[in-house]
Each structure stands twice: as C-alpha cells, then as structure tokens.
Amino acid sequence: MPRIFPTTRVLPSNHLKFYIFFVEPMEQGDIFRHLRLLRSNHAEIAGPFRETELWAPDGRQLTLWLHPGRQKSKVNLNVDEGPVLLPDQQYQLEISGEWKTQTGVPLGKTIRHTFRCTAPDTTQPDPARWEMTVPNAGSTVPLRINFGEPLDWALLQSEMNLFTAEGKPVTGRVRIGEWESSWEFHSNEPWKPGSYEVKMGIVLEDLAGNNLARPFEVDISKPVTGSFRKPTQLPFTITKRAISSPDPCSLQSGQARR
C-alpha cells in the first residue's frame, strides 16, 4: 500500500504537494489518469494537478503538485478557475487500483486519502520560535526540535543537518516525528560536551511553500521593503552534568570514609 505524505489530515487550503511512496517502481507515462481529487460529495475537481511527472530515480517516489497557478492567490488561473482547495472543506485524493507496477502488477485496491482544509497559511516557518530539547552529555537520547506545525517531509530529510562548532558533521540518523511537525537526531555515539549547530537550507518550507527565505505569496511586481529571511542556524551547547559529592552520612556500612 502506498504511503502518502504529509501524514496529517488537516492541511492549509493553499497546500502545494503530496509525496506518494510506493512499495515497487511504478509504471510511468500518462499517470494522471490514475489520480483524482474529489470533494466530500464525490464530485471530481477538474485540473487540480500540475501534470508533470516528478519521480525519484528508483521509480518509487512521486512528487504530486497541486497546480501552483491555482493555489497562489490573485494570479491568472487562480482568478479564472479558482483555487483547487477551499477552507472548511473535506477532500479525497484517490489513487486507482488499476495502476500497474513496472512489472505489470496492478495495485489492486484503490487508495483513498481523506483530508480537510483550514485557512490559507501565509506565514513563514520561524526557527527562532521552535522548541529544542537538548540531550545531556553521555546520553543516547535524541536531539529534538518541535516546529509547532507540519513542514515538508522530503525537505526535512535533506535540508536539516547537524554539525559541531568546528563544522564537522555529526554522524547519526534522522527521524521525522508525527505529522512531520518535529525532527529528531539520533547520534551514533553518546553525546559529547561541546557546542553544536543545526543548519537549515533556505528552501526548507511548510506545506504551503513558505520557506526560510520568503513567503510563497510574494508580489514580485512590487519592491521588497524588508527582509523576509529567517535564521538558518540553531546553535546549542551540551554541557557536562554536575556530579555532587556524596553525603558522608549516606555512606553504607562497610564503606571507607576519608
């Protein structure tokens, strides 16, 4: 059964893309006959997708864009045809069970991914507002960052990296949390005391395409009057935990006292 990201079932109405991850490489070419977007009354939405096939090299991961020209307000398609999604409405992304793998085997079961929409999101992610839980020296618990909102699943894996203060990459594995609203780094070794830095690419974005450099809804015909850029580094320090001296009165019988 394909996995669909984002996993959250509550999306902003200006949501931009889904990632569909298949178990096996899929048949390519004319794939949009296998994909539909439906309203809650089962009425099909006409022309909801950007009909460009965007496959990972292994043929298993598809990036499915909702049409940006319809999702971005006040541009031609948005005005002429209307947005793909509306607030306070429920929708269903449908993947046909007739779609075949590259070996000719159909999926067999039609996949229906239901979600509902809230108001558009026009606010950039702001790392200065994220909550970071820093592990203690010597521990193996992960570094955890809570975003307070879902971010782009694929970009979370490529655009967030951990380094020492000297710029050396820290080896470990990344885990994306529930609904893509948190990021964990599990170090391969117990954490050492020192200064560290999480570095983010400026293209890291939320579900509506607002990234660390600028919001998705920017009127490029007007001069920029201020900077939209958000911080792209999150420094933190891991310190040695202070170890208090034992109370002599608490020593067990038979222990030497000095």
Do 74 and 132 share a domain, yes or no? no
User: Does 162 fall in a domain?
Assistant: yes
Spatial neighbors of 150 by CB under 8 A, at least 6 apart, are: 6, 8, 179, 180, 181, 206, 207
Q: Which of 78, 98, 118 is the last residue of a domain?
A: 118
pLDDT digits (tens, 9 = 90+) for 13-59: 999 999 999 999 999 999 999 999 999 999 999 999 999 999 999 99
Residues 93/37, Cβ–Cβ less than 8 Å: yes
Number of other residues whose CB lies within 10 A of the CB of residue 53? 12
Predicted confidence at residue 220, as pLDDT, reads 59
pLDDT bracket for residue 245 (50, 70, 90) = very low
Q: Which domain holds residue 138?
A: 127-238
pLDDT digits (tens, 9 = 90+) for 151-199: 999 999 999 999 999 999 999 999 999 999 999 999 999 999 999 999 9
User: Does 182 fall in a domain?
Assistant: yes
Q: What is the pTM (predicted TM-score) of this model?
A: 0.86
Rounded distance between C-alpha atoms, residue 71 and residue 79, angstroms: 10
Do 109 and 143 share a domain, yes or no? no
User: How large is the average pLDDT for residues 97-115?
Assistant: 97
The closest of 119, 120, 127 to 213, measured between CA atoms, is 127
Q: What percent of the chain has pLDDT over 90?
A: 79
Residues 137/189, Cβ–Cβ less than 8 Å: no
With residue 70 as reference, give the H or E element that holds it.
helix 68-71
pLDDT bracket for residue 217 (50, 70, 90) = confident
Q: Which of 118, 137, 166 is the last residue of a domain?
A: 118
Number of other residues whose CB lies within 10 A of the CB of residue 57? 7
Q: Which of 96, 118, 140 is the last residue of a domain?
A: 118
What is the domain count for the chain? Answer: 2
Do 111 and 138 share a domain, yes or no? no
Does 219 have pLDDT greater than 70? no
pLDDT bracket for residue 70 (50, 70, 90) = confident
pLDDT bracket for residue 218 (50, 70, 90) = confident
Spatial neighbors of 223 by CB under 8 A, at least 6 apart, are: none
Does 136 have pLDDT greater than 70? yes
Rg of the chain over all Cα atoms, to the nearest angstrom: 24
Does 226 have pLDDT greater than 70? no
User: Does 38 fall in a domain?
Assistant: yes
